[in-house]
Amino acid sequence: MAQPVVTSLLRGLDVLRCFTEQRKVLGSSEIARLTGLPQPTVWRLCQTLVKAGYLTVEQPDNRLRLGVPVLTLGFAAISALDIADLVRPDLQVIASSFSAAAGLTTRERLSMLCLQRFEAPNATLTVNWRIGSMVPIASSGVGWAYLAGLATGERDVLLADIKREQPDLWRKMEKPYAASVKSFARTGYVVNDVLYPGLTTVATSMLRASDRTLFVLNCTVLSATNSPDKIRREIGPAMTAATERLSTALAKGISH
């Protein structure tokens, strides 16, 4: 028997997903374009979300931004994961050891969502990536590590979605992705220096068996001061060691 689906609820969630760190304020016509929904439908959904507090109206142009209740739900979801607390000590050590930013991510549709992030006080980075930020799976180190950590069948399905929805991006990234994932099979981590010029990301993945959620740890450093040799000798092994420790903890049910 098919499970009941509340279409209007799903459409309302699609509206909320239109808002990102880069798209903080949107008009209803922009939301209609992003969701593919008719303008009258978007208007009704937005009015309902405004009434509930999930969207707020900015004057004088009546554009919309997320309301506080959405942020509350987001932080509650992160807290409920428990894994965010579990990885904190390792992320702090990695960030401090390599003058880096270290984080925890997982998948959100065709993007990777930042769940936890630490930055060393002496880190000199040119991108401000925070909790709640997202980057495309196709072009990011965390996305490549996520793909590498999937079972073959699951990876093929996700890659098919990416190729269909983001063909131009995928054509640019297919060769560096393939090289990085090939290296993953040998080393246990991926390296990406194409998403943010001047920065290199090293990423590993780990599975929470209780619900089959795949998480990714990452370490982002300045390319100029972190050679491929240093990544191979120091950063990569540190990342894989942390992932192995955390994977063991997850398997024992420390985080669920």
2-18 pLDDT, tens digit per residue, is 556 788 899 999 999 89
The answer to whether domain 7-71 and domain 82-251 are alike in fold is: no
Residue closest to 107 by CA, chosen among 161, 53, 66, 65 = 161
Q: What is the mean pLDDT of the chain?
A: 89
What pLDDT score does 255 carry?
Answer: 46
Residue 154 has pLDDT above 60, yes or no: yes
What pLDDT score does 256 carry?
Answer: 39
Please tell me the distance from the alpha carbon of residue 165 to that of residue 255, in angstroms, as a whole number: 34
Cβ within 8 Å of residue 133, ≥6 positions away: 21, 113, 114
Query: pLDDT tier at 251 (50, 70, 90 boundaries)?
Result: confident
Dig out the tokens for 103 from the structure: 């984080």
Cβ within 8 Å of residue 8, ≥6 positions away: 45
CB 53 within 8 A of CB 225: no
Please tell me the distance from the alpha carbon of residue 134 to that of residue 20, in angstroms, as a whole number: 8
Please tell me the distance from the alpha carbon of residue 20 to that of residue 130, in angstroms, as a whole number: 12
What pLDDT score does 77 carry?
Answer: 63
> 82-251: which CATH number, 3.30.450.40, 3.40.190.170, 3.30.420.40, 3.10.105.10?
3.30.450.40
Location of structure tokens 């290296």? 183
| Span 7-71 CATH architecture | Orthogonal Bundle (1.10)
Query: pLDDT tier at 75 (50, 70, 90 boundaries)?
Result: low
Identity (one letter) of the amino acid at 252? K
pTM for this prediction? 0.78
Residue 29 has pLDDT above 70, yes or no: yes
What pLDDT score does 3 carry?
Answer: 58
Annotated domain spans of the chain: 7-71, 82-251
Residue 71 has pLDDT above 80, yes or no: no
What pLDDT score does 2 carry?
Answer: 52
What pLDDT score does 144 carry?
Answer: 98
Inter-helix orientation angle 39-52/28-35, to 10°:
110
Residue 254 has pLDDT above 60, yes or no: no
Query: pLDDT tier at 78 (50, 70, 90 boundaries)?
Result: low
The percent of residues above 90 in pLDDT, for the chain, comes to: 67
What letter would DSSP give residue 3? P
